[in-house]
Structure 1
């Protein structure tokens, strides 16, 4: 699909206060490493992730999401009464019902005429939400909308560590499905989209495509559906097969994006890829024929933050002037399922950014 009247006006993001290094995790797993004779440094060496962030225990997702939303609105100079849709789109949520978006809507003080609901689609939630908001803006239903999410990895990380330490039957082979759960991080991000008023109003959202390869839905799965602060999730991931299937899916989606937008490789100035790790990034960009130097990444210092990973990376890139002199940017999203959502934007250097680093 293509858009004529939609801009990505601003990004608001918050980085959690606690830093956990891959060395910290391996230190806690030293009994397992010693028994299986695994070399120290394996986690960072395989993933490229040095550190990730965690929220303090007891942090409410909706509190942080409301703050990220406010940061995005303040950066763009958009008042609450102009926001016609709020979508909360992270994997993590506070309750099965009501929608986490409801409390965020209340805290931010958005109008009663606002569309308010949750969307969940693994690492693609915020991109899916952004496309839905873009459609509402393009149709003239709303003037502006916010998609926001907050991911909290503490429960998954702690549950995974406890399981690995308690299961004496683990082998080098059987420990592999837990690897991806040790690479995750926490974070929060909001995108504010609005009606395109002029060439100076944010980045133009040129269009988007989606590709579903759901024959691979079993390659990365959580346990049963849970919500709230007491949840103790587990994830099982076939990282090797997921890598191969993800690259195939991404290749198909990227070709579809270029065709839909009538772009070619030579017109693409920058990319923000799915934020998983070194191997995925290198192989994906190589498969797509894209330059590593033109791609911005954050997983080395933030880990894989799920649905907020790519959106946050876009915000950090914009704040660091990575897009200066670069016009056309492709956002290359992939999520377990497998699905891919890719979005093309123009003028990313005009995106306004509001942020807060909790560690400062």
Structure 2
């Protein structure tokens, strides 16, 4: 477990892609596959709870998406970009293998040459891991502030998956299942400026955290290049659901063992948004009130590492999470990893 006393979550910013792709749109493209396999229309939204997801214009790079979120942070807060001391890029999506995608974001945002930059990759937990790394440096006095950004680009994965399903004449109801999770993915970007707390702090503070790794199940979700620029994923959604919730249960035991961080103490949960069945099983297993779960799933889909932080950002924007509240960020990533972070907003 970890604890902090000096770390402030100063300003969030995010960017929503301009295109909307509904679950009905996807099923219309897969109509011949649905007819051949006798799958009912509406199945995708019914099973996932996702009505639509957002997509960038073709060719948008992860660094460009993350840069838009960074600019939104600067627009939302009184922040001097020339004084930013650290930049961490945290997406599943990356521009290329080398150099670090953070280098493109750093240049596009016009950050100073004294700014420490690097990428963190840990599936859907990347942004929360970036928060922990930056918080550690702030707590130790190595930096006074920093920016965490993520820009997920789902377009290639969605298109590759749809085309692969259309082209595969040997599909069955069983063999189509590993592709289902790929149809729930959406695009988006988010950024967070964190800094050392002031003497009379008025912004939310990161104060608590716990994690668990359950890597015996690292074979349940794999994403790979499938030739050319085609990207495909195979996910055992049902087993990943149960093993992920199992890992979250162990993490919650650690997280909630700290006084003041039990289920009754927390006003809102801001989770990695995967699906409605996942949320129900997670909150039931952890013994939490589902009404405390703020959701963005229906409109955004699963936005990878962007999902949990953009959900918190929206909750702040809509005054659902506000001064006087305690909140918990909860992320589960393939691997399997789980990370929970406690945020306290003084009155």
TM-score (norm 1): 0.93
Partner residue, 2:104: 103
Residues 273-292 of structure 1: matches in 2 within 5 Å?
273-292=271-290
Alignment partner of 1:235 is 2:233 = yes
SS at match of 1:223: strand
Is 1:46 the counterpart of 2:47 in the alignment? yes
SS of 2:12's partner is strand
Can you list the C-alpha shifts for 1:43-91, whole angstroms capped at 9, x where unaligned?
Answer: 0000000000000002232222122112213322110132111011001
Determine if contact 2:68/2:189 at 8 Å carries over to the other structure: no
Counterpart CA distance in 2 for 1:61 and 1:137 is 26
RMSD: 1.6
Q: Which residue, 293, 297, 306 being the options, matches 1:295?
A: 293
Q: Distance in 1 between matches of 2:77 and 2:202?
A: 9
Distance 2:42 2:10 in 1: 41
Instruction: Identify the residue that residue 163 of structure 1 maps to in structure 2.
Output: 164
Distance 1:80 1:319 in 2: 23
Alignment of 1:343-358 (within 5 A): 343-347=341-345
Matched residue SS, 2:74 = helix
Distance, in Å, in 2 between the alignment partners of 1:324 and 1:129 is 23
Structure 1 CA distance for aligned equivalents of residues 51 and 200 of structure 2: 39
Structure 2 match to 1:30: 31
CA deviation after TM superposition for structure 1 residue 199, in Å: 4.5
- Name the counterpart of 1:148: 149
Partners in 1 of 2:157 and 2:267 — Cα distance? 37
Task: Kindly indicate whether residue 82 of structure 2 is the aligned counterpart of residue 81 of structure 1.
Answer: yes
Match of 2:197 in 1: 196
**Greater length-normalized contact order (CA 8 Å, ≥ 6 residues apart):** 1
Counterpart CA distance in 2 for 1:61 and 1:113 is: 23
Q: C-alpha separation between the residues in 1 aligned to 2:133 and 2:322?
A: 28
Residue segments in structure 2 that go unaligned for 5+ positions in a row: none
Matches within 5 A, 1:300-339: 300-324=298-322, 327-339=325-337
**Would you say the 8 A contact 1:251–1:287 is kept in 2?**
yes
Deviation, structure 1 residue 200: 3.6
Task: Check if 1:269 corresponds to 2:267.
Answer: yes
Q: Deviations over 1:99-135 (max 9, x none)?
A: 1100111111111111101111100000000100000
In the aligned structure 2, how far is the partner of 1:44 from the partner of 1:168?
24
Distance 1:107 1:100, change over 3 A: same
Structure 1: gaps of 5 or more residues: 351-360
**1:8 is paired with a residue of what secondary structure?**
strand
Secondary structure of 2:219's match?
A: helix
Q: CA deviation at 1:327?
A: 1.2
Stretch moving more, 319-328 or 113-122:
319-328
Superposed CA deviations along residues 30-51 of structure 1, whole A, max 9, x for unmatched, are 0000000000000000000000
Q: Secondary structure at the match of 1:86?
A: strand
> Mean alpha-carbon deviation: is it higher for 41-50 or for 100-109?
100-109
Q: Secondary structure at the match of 2:3?
A: coil
Q: 2:152·2:305 contact (CA, 8 Å) conserved in 1?
A: yes
Q: CA deviation at 1:231?
A: 3.1
Q: How many residues align?
A: 346
**CA distance in structure 2 between the aligned counterparts of 1:260 and 1:337, rounded to whole angstroms:** 26
Change (3 A) 1:105 1:294: same
Aligned to 2:61: 60
Deviation track 1:7-48 (CA, whole Å, cap 9, x = no partner) reads 111111000000000000000000000000000000000000
In structure 2, the residue corresponding to 1:312 is in which secondary structure? helix
Q: Is the 8 A contact 1:254 1:332 kept in 2?
A: no
For residues 229 and 192 of structure 2, the distance between their equivalents in structure 1, rounded to whole angstroms, comes to 27
Q: Does 1:121 align with 2:119?
A: no
Which position in structure 2 is the counterpart of 1:9? 10
1:249 to 230, 247, 250: 247
After TM superposition, the score normalised by the length of structure 2 is 0.96
Does structure 1 residue 215 correspond to structure 2 residue 216? yes
The answer as to whether partners of 1:270 and 1:326 remain within 8 angstroms in 2 is no
